[in-house]
Structure 1
Amino acid sequence: MTLACYACDPAQSRGRHYPQAPALTRTEYQRDRDRIVHSTAFRRLVYKTQVFVNHEGDLFRTRLTHSLEVAQLGRSVARSLRLNEDLVEAIALAHDLGHTPFGHAGQDALNDCMTAFGGFEHNLQSLRVVDHLEERYPQFDGLNLTFETREGILKHCSRSNAQVLEMKEPGGVGLRFLDGTQPSLEAQLCNLADEIAYNAHDIDDGVRSGLITLEQLEAVALFDDFRREALAEYPQLQDAAHGRRLLYEATRRMLTAQVHDVIAATTAAVETAAPTSVAAVRQQAPLVQFGPDMRLKSQALKTFLLHQLYRHPQVMQTMNQAQTIVHELFKAYLEQPQEMGEGFLARAEAAAGAPDPLSASARVVADYIAGMTDRFAAREHKRLTGVKLL
C-alpha cells in the first residue's frame, strides 16, 4: 500500500534519543512495536484492571486485551486512510503501559497521593515507562522509541508537565500541549480507536457480569439501532437462550458502523484541509473524527456506561477497596523504602541526594506502584498491613 502524503513515513522519522543503525528487516515503527511487545510493562497488562479486577472472572477484558483490540481497530482504519499501520499498532500497544493497578480507581488514588509532588498522569507514566523505566539495553534506559511513537503515547498532558518535558526536550513531545498544534494522524487515530474499543467491550463485559442488561441498553440509540437490526435479520435471536449471540451481533454491527463513520468523516475532513505533509497536519484542527451524529450517539453511550456500569455499587465497592490499597501502599513504601524491590530501593536511596529528596522519593514510590499488577498490589498490601481487601 502506498502511504498518503500526510502519513508518517518511517524513513522520515524524527528519530530516537540515542541514534541506532537501521534494522535490516524492519522499519523504524515495526522495531518500536517489537520492543513494546517484548517489554516487561506490556506483559504486566494482562493482570491489570480494565473495569473488573482480574480475579472477578477469566473472560473480562484486561489492559492487555484492551490494547490488542485498540491495535486491531486502529490498523483497520489506518489501512483505509492510507496511514502507517505499524505506527498505529505501536502506539496502540503502548498507550496504557503506565496505567496503575485497578484501572482508573488506582490512577485517581495515586494522583491523590502525589498531589504535593507533581501529581500522577497515566499517559505521562506510559512515556516514563518507555523513556526511563524499562531496563533492557546496556547503552540506555527505556526502549529508545522513535519520536512519532512517543508522541502518540502521550495523548494527554497537563500544561505544567508539558513545560517540564519541554525544558528537558526542547521541541519534543511536550511542545504541542503548549503551542496548540496536533499530533500525527496516526496518533489521532489511536486516540479515537481507544474510545471505540472500550465503549464496545465495556458493554460486553457489563452484560457478561450481570451489572447491565440488554433491556437497559435499549435506551442507548447507538447500540439499540443495531440490536433491532440484528433481530430483524435473525428473529431467532429473540429467544433468551440466544442472548449472548444477540449481544455479539449487535456489538459487531455497532463497531463496523463506527469504523465506517470514522473513515468517511476523516476522509472528508482531510479533503477539506488538504494537508500535503505530516507538518501540515500538525497545524490543522484534529482531522480524525466521528461524524456529528455518531459523535452524539457515542457520547450518549459513554454517559450510559458511566452511570450504569462504572458507578455501579458493586464496581464502586471494589474500586474503593482498591483505592485504599494504593493509598496504604504509598504511605508504607514512603516510610519504609526497603520494602520495595531491590532496583527501586536503590533509586530511593539515590533520591536522598536530590534537591527535593521527598518529591524524588515519592516519584520512585509512584513508579513502583504504577508498575504493579492488581494481584501483586493486593498481595503486597496484605503483606505490609496484614489486611486482605481484595
Structure 2
Amino acid sequence: MDVAAWIERPRAPYAADPKMSRGRLVPEPSSPTRTDFQRDRDRVLHSTAFRRLKHKTQVFVYHEGDHYRTRLTHTLEVAQIARSIARALGLDEDLAETVALAHDIGHPPFGHSGERALDELMRPYGGFDHNAQTLRVLTRLERRYAAFDGLNLTWETLEGLIKHNGPLVDGAGRPTGRYECGAVPAAIAEGADRLGVPLAGHASAEAQAAAIADDIAYDAHDVDDGLRAGLFRLNDLKDAPLLADILREVERKHPGLDEHRGGHEVVRRVITRLVEDAIAEGGRRIDALSPADADAIRASGSPMIDFSPEMAEAERGVKRLLNARMYRAKRVDRIMADAAGIVRDLFGRYFSDPSSLPGEWAREAGRGSETSHARAVADFIAGMTDRYALTEHRRLFDDTPDLR
C-alpha cells in the first residue's frame, strides 16, 4: 500500500499544502505516515500544556460543576467547527484543527481575570498577553524533545497562532486590532521575526477558519453555560435579535418544550446558523478574489473567512447580551475578583522569594535581570491550572478564597 498516497486528499489551490510548508526552525525528516500539519496536531495533543487546559477556567471555575466548559472542552469544540468550515471550503482540515487546538494554550488560570491580573503585574516588564504566551509555550517552554525546546511546529501553524486575531500591524507598521492602542507584545514581535512571519497581512484561510470557529464556539457555549448557571433564562435571549429569531423557531416547532431541551435546541441552531453563514460568506469572498494559492489569501486586503455583514451585526448582539448578563454578572465578578487576588498573591510571593518556587523554576527565576526573573514567575503561574493555583495559595497563605 502506498502510504503517501493514502494521506493525500484533494484540496483547493488556495489551501495550505503541507508538501509546500516553509518548514520548521529545526529541520526534521518528514514522517512517512503523516503530513507535516498532522504531525503538528499530534504534538499539540500530546503536550503538557494541552492537558492542563482540562482544569483551566473558561468562565466558571473548575469545581462549580462538571457540565460547564473548560479551556479544554472549548478548544475541542473550536477544533470541530474549524474542521467543518475547512472541509466545506476545500482547505487543509489538519492545519485548521491544529491552530484551533493550540490557540488557547497560553491562557493562565482563572480565564481573562487571571490574564488581566498577570498583565498588570508584568506591566513594568513588558506585560502579559495570552497569545504571546502561547508562542512562548510552543517555541520555548515545552521541553519534551532532545533536539529542541518547544514543539518545533511548522511555520504555517505558528503563523496562524501569531495572527489568530488578524494582522498585528497595518501597511505602515502601526499596531492594529487588539494592539491598536499599545504595542505588539515583545514575545510576539521577537518570535515572528525569528520565524520570518510578517506582522502585517492575513494568515492562511485555515487559520482564519480556526479564528472564526473560536467566536462561534464562544457564542454558543456561553449561551449554554449561562442558561445552566441560571444567569439568564430562555426568554431573556430575546434581547439579542439572532437568538430571538432562533427561539421563535424552536417554540414554533416544539411548543411547550422545557427550558433544558429548549436551551439545547437554541444552542445547536446558533452553531448551525453561524457556521453556514461563515461558509457561505467565505465562499463568496474566495470566488470574488479567485486566489491562485495560499499566499494570495495572505496578501488580500481583508479576511476571507468571516461572517456576512448582516450576521456580523447579529453576532455582536449575542456578545452584547452575554457581556451584560454573564461576564458582568455579580456572581461571576465576585469570583473572578477573588481569583485575580490569588494570582497577585502568588506573583508577589514568588517574585520576592524565588525559593518558594519548585527547584527548576527557582533556578530559572534566579538567572539574569529583574525582567527575566519576573518573566519566569509569570511563565510558572501561566502554566498553572485553576486547582493547582488554589493548592499553591493554600500552601503559601493562611486565607484562600473559596471561589464559589
Asked if Structure 1 and Structure 2 have the same fold, meaning a TM-score greater than 0.5 normalized by the shorter chain, the answer is: yes
SS of the equivalent of 1:8 reads coil
2:255 aligns with: 235
Higher deviation after alignment, 35-44 or 244-253: 244-253
Unaligned runs of 5+ in 2: 1-8, 169-178
1:329 aligns with: 346
SS of the equivalent of 2:393 reads helix
1:100 equivalent to 2:108? Answer yes
Matched letter for residue 325 of structure 2: Q
Assess, with a 3 A threshold, how the Cα gap between structure 1 residues 118 and 227 changes in structure 2: closer, same or farther.
same
1:373 equivalent to 2:385? Answer yes
- Provide TM-score, normalisation by structure 1: 0.94
1:389 equivalent to 2:389? Answer no
Distance of 2:190 and 2:79 partners within structure 1: 32
Assess, with a 3 A threshold, how the Cα gap between structure 1 residues 245 and 296 changes in structure 2: closer, same or farther.
same
Question: How far is the alpha carbon of 1:166 from its aligned partner?
Answer: 4.9
Unaligned runs of 5+ in 1: none
Which digits, 9 at most, give the CA deviation of each residue in 1:58-79, with x for residues without a partner? Answer: 1100000000000000001110
Distance of 1:112 and 1:6 partners within structure 2: 41
CA RMSD of aligned residues (A): 1.5
SS of the equivalent of 2:271 reads helix
Matched letter for residue 305 of structure 1: L
Assess, with a 3 A threshold, how the Cα gap between structure 1 residues 110 and 166 changes in structure 2: closer, same or farther.
closer
1:128-167 → structure 2 map (5 Å cutoff): 128-154=136-162, 155-156=164-165, 158=179, 160-161=183-184, 165-166=188-189
1:309 aligns with: 326
1:22 equivalent to 2:30? Answer yes
1:265 equivalent to 2:247? Answer no
Assess, with a 3 A threshold, how the Cα gap between structure 1 residues 167 and 106 changes in structure 2: closer, same or farther.
closer
Which digits, 9 at most, give the CA deviation of each residue in 1:97-123, with x for residues without a partner? Answer: 000100000000000000000000101
SS of the equivalent of 1:114 reads helix
Which digits, 9 at most, give the CA deviation of each residue in 1:259-307, with x for residues without a partner? Answer: 1100111111111112111111111111111011110010011011011
Matched letter for residue 108 of structure 1: R
2:365 aligns with: 348
Would the aligned equivalents of 2:132 and 2:188 in 1 still touch at CA under 8 Å? no
Question: How far is the alpha carbon of 1:172 from its aligned partner?
Answer: 3.3
Would the aligned equivalents of 1:347 and 1:364 in 2 still touch at CA under 8 Å? yes
Would the aligned equivalents of 2:99 and 2:161 in 1 still touch at CA under 8 Å? yes
Matched letter for residue 199 of structure 1: D
SS of the equivalent of 1:235 reads coil
Q: 2:218 aligns with which of 192, 198, 222?
A: 198
Assess, with a 3 A threshold, how the Cα gap between structure 1 residues 55 and 169 changes in structure 2: closer, same or farther.
closer
Matched letter for residue 260 of structure 1: E
> Identity over the aligned pairs, expressed in percent?
45
Assess, with a 3 A threshold, how the Cα gap between structure 1 residues 12 and 204 changes in structure 2: closer, same or farther.
same
Distance of 1:207 and 1:221 partners within structure 2: 17
2:174 aligns with: none
Would the aligned equivalents of 1:165 and 1:172 in 2 still touch at CA under 8 Å? no
Would the aligned equivalents of 1:91 and 1:152 in 2 still touch at CA under 8 Å? yes
Q: How many residues align?
A: 378
2:17 aligns with: 9
Assess, with a 3 A threshold, how the Cα gap between structure 1 residues 382 and 190 changes in structure 2: closer, same or farther.
same
1:360 equivalent to 2:372? Answer yes
Distance of 1:147 and 1:210 partners within structure 2: 44
Distance of 1:337 and 1:100 partners within structure 2: 19
Would the aligned equivalents of 2:219 and 2:318 in 1 still touch at CA under 8 Å? yes
Question: How far is the alpha carbon of 1:174 from its aligned partner?
Answer: 5.0
Matched letter for residue 323 of structure 1: A
Assess, with a 3 A threshold, how the Cα gap between structure 1 residues 257 and 62 changes in structure 2: closer, same or farther.
same
Would the aligned equivalents of 1:162 and 1:175 in 2 still touch at CA under 8 Å? no
1:182 aligns with: 202
